[in-house]
Amino acid sequence: MNSSPTNRSPIHPSPINPSRDRALNLVAAFGLVLGAVFGMAGTVVAQANLRSSFWAIDGAGLVMATALLTVKFFRKGRDVVAAGFLVFAIGEAVMLSGTAASLLESVPSFGAGTALWATALLLISVPPTLALWIRLIGLLAAILFAITAARIFAGQLVLPTSSPLPFFAYPLLVLTFIGWIWTLLQEAS
């Protein structure tokens, strides 16, 4: 087997490249910022077309960021955390499929997405990879999104803007994103 750098086995991680890793961290952080800002903005605006546009930007940014974080943590050998980011990307993509629909029509994709968010947050937050405060906030958000998904699957009408849940779970998700961003920026500096 040729062990030259151009013919690496997919099982072995690529060599460390600080400038590539710094760029990956910054792009992922940017996607998380888009998700945090436009996700919260979409939750509080009343105009349906503006909400859909904000949530589309939010969803695309989060899919990009969590896909990059999947690669990052897989390369580091943190497979469970990498799988968590992959599940988050899938959950966000499922939710993105319903953003152009009305709030009522988006409930099935929202329910599936929140179930995947909860699963992803558990996978990311349980292993001792990130700072404890980030993991604890992520676990609390996971519980609240699991409750939201369970209520939807039990037949209750829970819109993406319903209060108290999921409305009060979103700030915890954004705080989790802030923790992820903080981690990425610490590594990039």
Average the pLDDT over 28-37 and give the result.
98
Q: What angle do CA 129, 16, 63 make, to 5 degrees?
A: 55
pLDDT at position 17: 77
pLDDT surpassing 70 at residue 1: no
Name the pTM for this structure. Answer: 0.90
Average the pLDDT over 67-95 and give the result.
97
Distance CA 142, CA 147 (A): 9
Distance CA 102, CA 106 (A): 6
Average the pLDDT over 154-160 and give the result.
96
In the numeric block, the tokens 């961003």 are attached to 181
pLDDT at position 188: 79
Distance CA 4, CA 74 (A): 21
Average the pLDDT over 25-42 and give the result.
97
pLDDT at position 9: 44
Give the start-to-end residue ranges of the domains of the chain: 17-188
Rounded percentage of the chain residues whose pLDDT exceeds 70: 92
pLDDT at position 13: 57
61 with 88: CB under 8 angstroms? Answer: no
Quickly list H helices, 45-156.
48-75, 79-96, 107-125, 132-153
Mean pLDDT score across all residues of the chain? 92
32 with 181: CB under 8 angstroms? Answer: yes
Candidates 28, 18, 74; CA nearest to 180 is 28
121 with 146: CB under 8 angstroms? Answer: no
